[in-house]
Amino acid sequence: MRLRLKTVFYPLVVKDVERLTDDSAAITFTVPEDLAQGFAFAAGQCLTIRRGEERRSYSICAPVGTSPRIGVREVAGGALSGWLAREVRPGDIVEALPPSGGFTPDLTAAANHVLIAAGSGITPMMSIAASVLAADDKSTVTLLYGNRRSATVMFADEVADLKDAYPTRMRIIHVLSREPQEVELHSGRLDRDRLAKLLPATVDVATVDHWWLCGPLGMTTDAAGALAALGVDADRIHRELFWIGDDPPAETVHVDPAVDGASVTVSLDGRSSTFTLPAGTAVLDGAQRVRPDLPFACKGGVCGTCRAKVTQGAAVMRRNYALEEYEVKAGYILTCQALPSTDEITVDYDA
């Protein structure tokens, strides 16, 4: 059973830094022995990294059971990405929250997985692919990986090595938008039209158990639309979004709070705090005044770090790009986007 650590930042030692492309790197951490169980991760999870007041979430790219390793692509003006990709060296100390995230496959049952990634969206796919292939000799993986040019492909050698290790159970399709390839379908963007043609030509859609999508908003939206048009059930489609830029994606749901103010109780690490939340204020923003230890990263409804469960009352979210439908139906919210819709609400980060 995994030991649950408190939701605080812990110091990890940088074990290795590997240059992947001109603007990206993979960073492996050494976890102290007393934290090893708490930092045991599931395939597809992420680490939230902190430097000063800034924090960002980065997906883990390693197989389960190994040292945590993240993939980082440098973003122009990025608060952490440039530091991580270019300045961090072995022996440095980096602060990280324990692994989190629900973009994770079930490794206990054999399944046919299709992974659709673009750019740095490959990072969690590396963990998912390696982990599911190692877990069951009947599982299969097909990876559709979109990039601009071959020189910008993160983990190019590792993807090829994984294919070599499982030649009969893994298939890779590289799609390049700014570099021609021999197969016309493999040249261009992974948009809805291309996916509508590429997917049936690549896999037997009806036999795929799980579809995993990770990349920018446009790609993941187009992929989900193409799959829906092909008759794929929504509960077989799993999506994780990354966004690059100063502004998060536009709000998709605009709501007016149903109450002028609400009594909010938040529970984290077994301790509860109650406060009054002003109307129009997100749960996380209000709760941080009394609980500065609450987990968060992007505050844009994208990373899912602030996920918690409503155990009493109700709330509505302004936007949601991190939780799957079954999680929302089970009562989970992104506290950075949630506005109470009842006079009293209890939110449990430990649930």
As a whole number of angstroms, the distance between CA 123 and CA 214 comes to: 9
As a whole number of angstroms, the distance between CA 270 and CA 260 comes to: 29
Amino acid at the residue 8:
V
| pLDDT at residue 210 is higher than 70 | yes
Alpha-carbon distances, residue 105 vs 109, 204, 210, 325, 339 (angstroms): 10, 20, 8, 16, 30
Sign of the alpha-carbon dihedral angle for 136, 29, 23, 44: positive
Place of tokens 């770090």: 305
- Section 138-147 average pLDDT: 97
Alpha-carbon distances, residue 54 vs 48, 180, 317 (angstroms): 10, 39, 24
| pLDDT at residue 341 is higher than 80 | yes
- Helix or strand or coil: residue 189? coil
pLDDT band of 6, cuts 50, 70, 90: confident
- Helix or strand or coil: residue 185? helix
CB 63 within 8 A of CB 131: yes
Per-residue pLDDT tens digits for 246-283: 455 665 554 555 567 899 999 999 999 999 999 889 99
Tokens of 236: 């077989």
Q: What are phi and psi of 264, to 5 degrees?
A: -115, 130
Q: So what's the pLDDT on residue 141?
A: 98
Place of tokens 């790609």: 219
Domain ranges of the chain: 10-96, 112-241, 261-348
As a whole number of angstroms, the distance between CA 59 and CA 183 comes to: 31
Which architecture characterizes domain 10-96 according to CATH?
Beta Barrel (2.40)
Q: What is the third-level CATH fold of 261-348? A: Ubiquitin-like (UB roll) (3.10.20)
- Section 95-121 average pLDDT: 96
- Section 172-198 average pLDDT: 93
CB 254 within 8 A of CB 117: no
Q: What are phi and psi of 139, to 5 degrees?
A: -75, 145
**42: Cα within 13 Å, side-chain hemisphere:** 12
Average pLDDT of the residues of the chain:
92
Q: Residue count of the chain, please give it.
A: 351
Q: So what's the pLDDT on residue 246?
A: 46
CB 176 within 8 A of CB 149: yes
Q: So what's the pLDDT on residue 329?
A: 94
As a whole number of angstroms, the distance between CA 159 and CA 129 comes to: 9
Q: So what's the pLDDT on residue 1?
A: 44
- Section 237-242 average pLDDT: 90
Q: What is the third-level CATH fold of 112-241? A: Rossmann fold (3.40.50)
Per-residue pLDDT tens digits for 144-156: 999 999 999 999 9
Strand 112-118: give its sheet, edge to edge: 170-176, 140-147, 112-118, 210-215, 237-241
Residues in contact with 105: Cβ distance below 8 Å, sequence separation at least 6, in sequence order: 43, 44, 111, 113, 128, 131, 132, 210, 212
What long-range pairs does 179-185 form, CB within 8 A, spacing at least 24?
Answer: 179/148, 179/149, 179/150
As a whole number of angstroms, the distance between CA 3 and CA 58 comes to: 22
- DSSP track, 275-314: EEEETT--HHHHHTTT-TT---S-SSSSS-TTEEEEEES-
| pLDDT at residue 297 is higher than 50 | yes
Which of 43, 40, 55, 45 is closest to 9 using CA atoms? 55
